[in-house]
A and B are shown apart, each in its own frame.
Chain A
Amino acid sequence: QQQVKQSPQSLIVQKGGIPIINCAYENTAFDYFPWYQQFPGKGPALLIAIRPDVSEKKEGRFTISFNKSAKQFSLHIMDSQPGDSATYFCAARAAGNKLTFGGGTRVLVKP
């Protein structure tokens, strides 16, 4: 049973589109919600992280929206580019800096 549920599993958009990835969690003890980006043959790398007392955070073209009452959060990629094609993982942090990951979303941005 996954504690962090991520959807969709895959996404195809045209260049300039806005892929949106959604995650939901149950455990209210989670205290940080990072997103990781993974390119083929590489390890995941941190993209952006948010605390549950913040409703939105932007870093460049990446925006996290957080809804604490609904226990949901999402990643938006503005003006997406072919170079953004990757697998994206949401995660939630518990005590001891332990991460629980969602199942991942493979994003393909077509030129």
Chain B
Amino acid sequence: DADVTQTPRNRITKTGKRIMLECSQTKGHDRMYWYRQDPGLGLRLIYYSFDVKDINKGEISDGYSVSRQAQAKFSLSLESAIPNQTALYFCATSDTLGQGVYNEQFFGPGTRLTVL
């Protein structure tokens, strides 16, 4: 987990506020991902990035935006937070290996976000 860090670890905010969650990695991986975890729903992909210039929407991108500031940094923003965005948020990274190989995703420790 120390290779992938997330800040803050916990955040309580109010409806309508802009929030930024940050992720940094020292693994040297090109690929980075943002997920949210909700009870009973597992983890769902919000955005992913293959490199600094390649950012893609995931399964549930509405209400979120991202920025890939460098290979090692990938930030998630909630432009105007709403209560149903209360969740656990995880950043992950992976290498780019050849076909036929599983590119393991390494997860950070998570950020617990509460929107009141």
Q: Which residues of B contact A32 (CB under 8 A)?
A: 102
Q: How far is the CA of A101 from the CA of B108 in the complex (A)?
A: 17
Please provide the chain B residues from 48 to 104 with a CB less than 8 Å away from any CB of chain A in the complex.
Answer: 48, 50, 56, 58-59, 90, 92, 94, 100, 102-104
Q: How far is the CA of A89 from the CA of B35 in the complex (A)?
A: 14
Tell me the total A-B contact number using a CB cutoff of 8 A: 62
**Given B4, B45, B50, which contacts A99 in the complex, CB threshold below 8 Å?**
B45
Known: A34-B102, A43-B1, A49-B102. A6 touches B42 (CB 8 A): yes
CB distance from A59 to the nearest CB of B (A): 13
CB distance from A78 to the nearest CB of B (A): 22
Q: Which residues of A contact B106 (CB under 8 A)?
A: 46
* Interchain CB contact under 8 A, A104 and B107: no
* Interchain CB contact under 8 A, A101 and B43: yes
CB distance from A29 to the nearest CB of B (A): 14
Q: Which residues of B contact A102 (CB under 8 A)?
A: 42
Q: How far is the CA of A98 from the CA of B105 in the complex (A)?
A: 9
Q: How far is the CA of A17 from the CA of B60 in the complex (A)?
A: 38
Give the contact-size bracket for chain A.
20 to 34
**Given A4, A43, A103, which contacts B90 in the complex, CB threshold below 8 Å?**
A43
Please provide the chain A residues from 14 to 58 with a CB less than 8 Å away from any CB of chain B in the complex.
Answer: 32, 34, 36, 41-46, 49, 51
Whether A76 sits at the interface, judged by CB under 8 Å, is no
Q: Which residues of B contact A98 (CB under 8 A)?
A: 45, 48, 58
Determine the residue in chain B with the shortest Cβ distance to A9: B40
Q: How far is the CA of A77 from the CA of B57 in the complex (A)?
A: 35
Q: How far is the CA of A97 from the CA of B94 in the complex (A)?
A: 8
